């Protein structure tokens, strides 16, 4: 139950946000230290997010019973689980107030609320477990509570760095929508792709395959530590630097990311045992798959670094999602046709090929962005 709630909420949260939170940094750019500018874009992000939240939650309320139709759970339990999903999505909207802290590089104020909320969640979870009343609904409620505590602290910490307008600003709202319009199809598609490997395993594999793919997916969580640097450091930094040093800084950040990803990938192939220990003894036979999972995570991480830098410089083009989506669909269709996806290793290879194609598209966006910038400077 808890696994389905986490996966469902992750997808819903991405569909609700659609890049609004990330656009604040890019649109503010070098004016990010002006409270009125930053507050204006924050208000616009909240405006669009609230509209998407209403629409997506209505759709989710229809989709969740369908997703859990085959599960022998009581209707009251399903309602409680969906309630925690809706609550988590609502509280996650408060996290928008963490963006001003990142723009001002106040990392202590940004991470302290997360640490406090994590400790509170851990203590409460241990307490409910000790009392013998920890179940999926309670665990999901505690996760939503942690999001609420973090967002509440962000709202108070960001007050001195933003001045939100008292009225809707149609021009600024339209500017944000124009900026995100080419990006939205790709973001929505990526959100729906989030659980593709589990879906493939459930269609073609056995229960054992589903369990193995799910367990290997935990290895990918290690890259969340690296990915956090994208929104915390890379995005705000790239958005504010002058064009004269952009190419040099872009190359330096990308080179550092490639070096880190390369080291981690080599480690995954040569020394898989420590990662197998994390999975537990039931998955000791996955030694040969570990390296490929780590390589897939490395490619996805590099794609995330490129995407962050491109979005920060407003290198958002309509042709990007129109290229990305068909290429991914065609690639995955070929994999379904050519590979035996009843095997765990084939499913992992499926994910690796998808990540490689995605990275190739992001690389082409970077090349085009530099060419377009050079033409603009000459003009």
Burial of 201 (0-12, 13-18, 19+ CB in 10 A): buried
The reply to whether 379 and 287 lie within a common domain is: yes
Region class of 134: left (phi > 0), else alpha (psi between -120 and 50), else beta: beta
- pLDDT per residue over 343-369, tens digit each? 888 888 988 998 899 899 999 998 988
Does 214 lie in the same domain as 161? no
Residue 360: the pLDDT is 93
The whole-angstrom separation of Cα 269 and Cα 259 is 16
One domain for residues 168 and 194: no
**What's the pLDDT at 339?**
86
Q: Angle at which helices 20-28 and 287-312 pack, to 10 degrees?
A: 40
**What pLDDT does 209 receive?**
66
For residues 171 and 217, state if they share a domain: no
Cβ(66)–Cβ(4) below 8 Å: no
pLDDT tens column, 115-146: 999 999 999 999 999 999 998 889 999 999 99
CA atoms within 13 A on the CB side of 162: 28
Alpha-carbon distances of 108 from 12, 30, 98, 114, rounded to whole Å: 29, 22, 11, 10
State residue 379's pLDDT score: 61
Give mean pLDDT, residues 335-350. 85
1: closest CA among 141, 203, 171?
141
Q: What was the pLDDT predicted at 58? A: 92
Q: Are residues 222 and 130 part of one domain?
A: no
Same domain, 94 and 230: no
Q: Among the three residues 179, 203, 228, which one is the final residue of a domain in this structure?
A: 179
Residues 151 and 191 occupy one common structural domain: no
pLDDT value of residue 299: 92
**What percent of the chain has a predicted confidence (pLDDT) above 90?**
22
Angle of CA points 304, 308, 310, to nearest 5°: 115
**246 and 366 fall within a common domain:** yes
Q: For 168-180, how does the pLDDT look when each residue is reduced to its tens digit (9 = 90+)?
A: 888 888 888 888 8
Q: Could you tell me if 222 and 328 lie in one domain?
A: yes
Contacts of 218 (CB under 8 A, 6+ apart): 278, 279
User: Rounded to whole angstroms, how far apart are CA atoms 258 and 260?
Assistant: 6
What whole-number distance in Å separates Cα of residue 106 and Cα of residue 157? Answer: 10
Residue 207 in this model has a pLDDT that exceeds 60: no
Instruction: Please determine, for residue 245, whether its predicted confidence score (pLDDT) is greater than 90.
Output: no
Average pLDDT of 251-274?
90
Domain hosting residue 119, numbered range:
1-179
Q: Find out whether 316 and 264 touch, Cβ atoms under 8 Å.
A: no
Q: For residue 242, with 0-12 CB atoms within 10 Å meaning exposed, 13-18 middle and 19 or more buried, which class applies? A: exposed
Q: What token pair was written down for 322? A: 């129109």
Q: Could you give the CA distance from residue 198 to residue 4 in angstroms, rounded to a whole number? A: 11
Contact predicate 268/286, CB 8 Å: no
Task: Tell me, yes or no, whether 306 and 271 share the same domain.
Answer: yes
Mean pLDDT, the chain, rounded, equals 84
Please name the residue that has the structure tokens 């798959």: 289
pLDDT(246) > 80: yes
Residue 195: its pLDDT value, please?
64
Whether 149 shows a pLDDT value over 90: the answer reads yes
Q: 134 φ, ψ to 5°? A: -80, 120
How confident is the model over 13-61, as pLDDT tens digits? 888 988 888 888 878 877 878 888 888 889 899 999 999 999 999 998 9
The whole-number average pLDDT for the span 180-203 is 72
If we measure between CA atoms, which residue out of 250, 229, 246 comes closest to residue 306? 250
User: How many domains in the chain?
Assistant: 2
pLDDT digits (tens, 9 = 90+) for 98-113: 888 888 888 889 889 9
One domain for residues 166 and 258: no
Q: Are residues 246 and 111 part of one domain?
A: no
* Residue where a domain stops, chosen among 122, 148, 179: 179
Please tell me the distance from the alpha carbon of residue 216 to that of residue 229, in angstroms, as a whole number: 23
Q: Which of 132, 158, 179 is the last residue of a domain?
A: 179
Question: Is the pLDDT confidence value at 225 over 90?
Answer: no
pTM: 0.67
């Amino acid at each position: 139950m808890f696994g389905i709630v986490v996966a469902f909420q992750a997808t819903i949260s991405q569909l609700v946000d659609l890049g609004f939170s990330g656009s604040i940094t890019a649109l503010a750019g070098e004016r990010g230290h002006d409270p009125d500018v930053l507050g204006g874009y924050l208000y616009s992000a909240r405006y669009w997010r609230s509209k998407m939240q209403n629409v997506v939650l209505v759709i989710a309320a229809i989709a969740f019973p369908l997703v859990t139709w085959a599960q022998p759970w009581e209707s009251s339990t399903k309602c409680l689980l969906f309630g925690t999903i809706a609550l988590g999505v609502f509280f996650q909207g408060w996290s928008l107030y963490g963006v001003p802290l990142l723009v001002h590089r106040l990392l202590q104020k940004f991470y302290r609320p997360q640490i406090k909320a994590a400790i509170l969640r851990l203590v409460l979870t241990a307490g409910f477990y000790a009392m013998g009343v920890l179940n999926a609904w309670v665990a999901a409620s505690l996760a939503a509570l942690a999001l609420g505590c973090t967002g509440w602290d962000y709202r108070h910490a960001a007050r001195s760095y933003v001045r939100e307008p008292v009225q809707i600003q149609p021009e600024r709202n339209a500017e944000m929508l124009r900026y995100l319009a080419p990006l939205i199809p790709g973001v929505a598609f990526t959100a729906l792709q989030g659980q593709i490997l589990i879906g493939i395993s459930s269609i073609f594999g056995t229960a054992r395959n589903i369990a193995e793919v799910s367990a290997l997916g935990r290895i990918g969580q290690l890259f969340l530590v690296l990915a956090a640097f994208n929104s915390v450091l890379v995005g705000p930094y790239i958005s504010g630097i002058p064009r004269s040093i952009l190419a040099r800084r872009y190359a330096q950040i990308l080179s550092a990311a490639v070096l880190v990803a390369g080291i981690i990938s080599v480690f995954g192939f040569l020394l898989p045992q420590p990662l197998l220990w994390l999975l537990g003894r039931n998955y000791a036979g996955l030694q040969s798959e570990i390296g490929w999972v780590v390589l897939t995570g490395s490619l996805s991480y590099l794609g995330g670094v490129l995407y962050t830098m491109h979005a920060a410089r407003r290198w958002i083009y309509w042709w990007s999602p129109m290229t990305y989506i068909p290429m991914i669909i065609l690639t995955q269709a070929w994999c379904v046709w050519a590979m035996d996806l009843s095997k765990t290793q084939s499913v992992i290879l499926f994910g690796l090929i998808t990540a490689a194609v995605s990275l190739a598209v992001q690389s082409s966006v970077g090349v085009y962005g530099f060419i377009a910038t050079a033409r603009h400077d000459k003009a």
